Structure 1
Amino acid sequence: MLAGLIFAIEDATDRPGTLAATLPFGGMTLLEYQVRLLAGAGVEQVFVAVGRMTPALLAAVGRASERDIQVEIVRSAEEAAEKVGDEAVVLVLADGLVTTDTVIERMASGGAEALLVTSDPESAAAIERLDMKDCWAGIARVSGRQLSVIANMPADYDFQSALLRVSVQSGAEHIALTAGQERAGHLVELSAEALSARSNGVLAALTERRTNWADRWVFTPIARLALPELVRRTIPGWSLRVGAALFAAVALGLALYRMPGAGLAVSLLSVAFLATGAAMAALRGEMKRADTLELAITGLFAAMVAATGWASWDAIADWTPVVLSIAAIGSQVLVERVPARPRRWWASPAAHLLILTPLALADYAEAGLAVIAIYAFGTLSAAVEAMREKP
């Protein structure tokens, strides 16, 4: 079994009496964010090691337990050892740790004991020196047996430090924290003000889920600007979904009313709402919802291209626009199903809408359909070739 152990003992440096684990972070508390990361890595049960109970901590644990993962509070190493079991693999997160899915997944991928380390003692991720070279960077992979060893130590031992020392003595592997991971937001922070600033950085990193040129240069910057403000104002995720649905309905109505250019322009607003909503869902650990929202962009693309093809057919009484729309939709759907790593220049639903919109506004909808059909087919060919190169 893969379990998680989060330390929630230290007070915030700028808010005496408030546990750092209960400080706001990314629209939730830091503790809830840490639980989300562990759940995403496949952890089945999370234990929160505490020194004292506070109403904010209890509330955070209650909310975290709603994520289909069991979260329990433990007050000592003895209690943790009893509940975890000797055969379990435990992923340990330090008090005040901020990190990303990539780092957590890397540490959760092995079975043997391991410590995430940094060789820079001045790094914001450095917590405690392990030897002359390395400092602990806030994540450890330990065994349940090691928790049992600490349980037999004197009661005045510091739980986190003792666990670290036992791991070192057992010869745990040192896994280096990379510069890229640190730039992405991995650090230990006990200040409410600093956590707020770092929250925006993590929010920005989540908008990088989609790497196509249209997303990277158009919709990702929009999400990066909007998401921190939405989180700060505690705007619910459903409001973005409602906004996207309303814009999509207006867009389809305009296209079917023989105004495809105006409809496509409005559909871009719906895509922006969906992309931002997907990033917010990813932040909150709702990965299925994030994937669903990204799938909705594909559905909107198909609906708008089909409506544009129909409107063009109705205007010129020629089946060519319909055939081109079917070719574009069919090719792009196949692209989405090819398990090849996307390249930045490849076609995507959002890219097609960006290309088609100005051409339709200029009354060249048929030419726009031809362009995106060729683009989708070219991307499909490249995707198939990529699979042939690396079967």
Structure 2
Amino acid sequence: MLTALLAAAEGVETPALQPVAGVTLLEHQVRRLVAAGVERLVLLTGEWPVTLAAPLGRLRADHIAIDAVRTLADAADRLAASPRVLLVAEGCLPDRALLDRLAAAAVPTIATLPDAPEHQDWERIDAQARWAGVALIDGSRVIEAASMLGEWDPVSTLLRRAVQEGAGRLMLDAPPLLAMDAGSAAAAEAGIIRGTREAHEGWAARWIEAPLVEWSLPLLFPRSIEPLWPGALAALLALGGGLAAVAGLRWGMLVPLLAAALLRLIGRRLSAVQARALPHAQIIARAGDAGLVLASLGLGLGLMRDTGQWGWLLLGALLPLEMMLTALQRRANAWGGGVGEPAWLARGDELPWTLLPVAVVGGWKAGLAGLCGYAAATLAFQLRRGWRLMR
């Protein structure tokens, strides 16, 4: 079982309670540790700050229990039987990759940084290295440290004992995020936002939506917006846009679909920032798909009424069929080992952004025909890719 020991300095000024991206730093630390497979968390608090109750309550609401203790001796009672304990420094926010590497290392192991001027905020452990804020130790060592602690800092004491035992070292190229005060918390917040960028995003999400989302997220953090709310609003707007298309309101269709795409990304990024699963993510995604299907059929139906040509309705039905076949082939390609898709491929969120300039310049007929051609080219690419993987 993997356990974690975190420290929070005494008093209300502890970095553990520093606001970062809408919640406390402690909540970010805990959620990242849980996502990395930590099953038990022990928080060393010293004198209990009253303000600690709120973040612990939010964590308990998500079924994350933390054992808060006042002294290292109390922590030792809980950690003695744990052969693998992740020690996390106050203010340090390690990413998932670092936690995974350290959890797989031999005990004891210390994450380190070169002793360079740019790393002066990190604790020096010898003439060549500084501690990067995370270490893997044996729980039995906590008992030994508690028995001789005196007035020493508990985390530094555990770290020094690991160094004296010749602990292995995991040298890092770049330090983890560190939030010790308001200034460093703002830098950590920007780093957290950058870290939630999705590698599989298409061109619209990457170059149009992402800048807007990253501008809006800091405005949402002080309001403690839950990821569910932008996701739920996106679902309603997508369905509303689809119904507007059936009613013949073409701009009433496109504008809500564009807003829904932005809100879906905001919900996903908020969820990633908080290291929490997006509630009802499948329902939100299905509502977005249903809105696009209704919009395509509604646009084709309206153009058929305008021109008297049933082929437009056929195109309106063909577009969602092409996208469905593309999604199935994409999954098959992923199972076959295909990775690294080009950004230009058609995805659900790309369709409204593609339709916008084409409809403005060439009209709605050109817009629907262009979307069908775009989806057909994407499907052909995926089929060709699947054939190559099979071979």
Would you say same fold, with TM above 0.5? yes
For residues 285 and 151 of structure 1, the distance between their equivalents in structure 2, rounded to whole angstroms, comes to 33
1:115 Cα offset (Å) = 1.4
Check the 8 A contact 1:278/1:294 in 2, yes or no.
Answer: no
Asked if 1:321 corresponds to 2:315, the answer is: yes
Check the 8 A contact 2:238/2:256 in 1, yes or no.
Answer: yes
Query: CA offsets per residue over residues 273-309 of structure 1, 9 Å max, x none?
Result: 1111111122222224395456654554444344444
Partner of 1:375: 377
Asked if 1:146 corresponds to 2:141, the answer is: yes
Query: CA offsets per residue over residues 341-361 of structure 1, 9 Å max, x none?
Result: 342423322123322343345
Check the 8 A contact 1:36/1:284 in 2, yes or no.
Answer: yes
Q: Which amino acid aligns with 1:7?
A: A
- Secondary structure, counterpart of 1:285 in structure 2: coil
Partner of 1:91: 86
For residues 29 and 120 of structure 2, the distance between their equivalents in structure 1, rounded to whole angstroms, comes to 15
1:205 Cα offset (Å) = 2.9
Structure 1 residues 329 and 33, CA gap change in structure 2 (3 angstroms): same
For residues 157 and 327 of structure 1, the distance between their equivalents in structure 2, rounded to whole angstroms, comes to 67
Matches within 5 A, 1:345-360: 345=343, 346-360=345-359
Check the 8 A contact 1:310/1:322 in 2, yes or no.
Answer: yes
Within the candidate set 328, 333, 344, 2:327 is matched to 333
For residues 270 and 138 of structure 2, the distance between their equivalents in structure 1, rounded to whole angstroms, comes to 34
Check the 8 A contact 2:242/2:293 in 1, yes or no.
Answer: no
Structure 1 residues 317 and 236, CA gap change in structure 2 (3 angstroms): same
Check the 8 A contact 1:324/1:369 in 2, yes or no.
Answer: no
For residues 265 and 224 of structure 2, the distance between their equivalents in structure 1, rounded to whole angstroms, comes to 18
| Number of aligned residue pairs | 379
Within the candidate set 151, 156, 174, 1:156 is matched to 151
1:78 Cα offset (Å) = 2.5
Partner of 1:343: 341
Partner of 1:106: 101
TM-score of the aligned structures, taking structure 1 as reference length: 0.85
Check the 8 A contact 2:113/2:171 in 1, yes or no.
Answer: yes
Partner of 1:22: 17
Gaps of 5+ in 1: 12-16
For residues 167 and 61 of structure 1, the distance between their equivalents in structure 2, rounded to whole angstroms, comes to 29
Within the candidate set 287, 292, 295, 1:304 is matched to 295
Check the 8 A contact 1:251/1:267 in 2, yes or no.
Answer: yes
1:222 Cα offset (Å) = 1.3
Structure 1 residues 51 and 130, CA gap change in structure 2 (3 angstroms): same
For residues 171 and 290 of structure 2, the distance between their equivalents in structure 1, rounded to whole angstroms, comes to 42
For residues 185 and 157 of structure 2, the distance between their equivalents in structure 1, rounded to whole angstroms, comes to 27
For residues 280 and 221 of structure 2, the distance between their equivalents in structure 1, rounded to whole angstroms, comes to 16
1:192 Cα offset (Å) = 2.4
Asked if 1:232 corresponds to 2:222, the answer is: yes
- Secondary structure, counterpart of 2:266 in structure 1: helix
Deviates more, 1:246-255 or 1:356-365: 356-365
For residues 50 and 92 of structure 1, the distance between their equivalents in structure 2, rounded to whole angstroms, comes to 14
For residues 166 and 102 of structure 2, the distance between their equivalents in structure 1, rounded to whole angstroms, comes to 16
For residues 10 and 290 of structure 1, the distance between their equivalents in structure 2, rounded to whole angstroms, comes to 39
Check the 8 A contact 1:331/1:373 in 2, yes or no.
Answer: no
Check the 8 A contact 1:125/1:138 in 2, yes or no.
Answer: no
Q: Which amino acid aligns with 1:381?
A: L
1:107 Cα offset (Å) = 2.7
Q: Which amino acid aligns with 2:188?
A: R
1:251 Cα offset (Å) = 0.9
Partner of 1:14: none
For residues 34 and 142 of structure 2, the distance between their equivalents in structure 1, rounded to whole angstroms, comes to 21
Asked if 1:280 corresponds to 2:270, the answer is: yes
Check the 8 A contact 1:309/1:322 in 2, yes or no.
Answer: yes
1:269 Cα offset (Å) = 0.9
Gaps of 5+ in 2: none
Structure 1 residues 109 and 33, CA gap change in structure 2 (3 angstroms): same
Asked if 1:134 corresponds to 2:129, the answer is: yes
Q: What is the RMSD of the two structures over their aligned residues, measured on CA atoms? A: 2.8
Partner of 2:9: 9
Q: Which amino acid aligns with 1:327?
A: L
Partner of 2:111: 116
1:61 Cα offset (Å) = 2.1
1:209 Cα offset (Å) = 5.4
Q: Which amino acid aligns with 1:348?
A: R
TM-score of the aligned structures, taking structure 2 as reference length: 0.85
1:266 Cα offset (Å) = 2.5
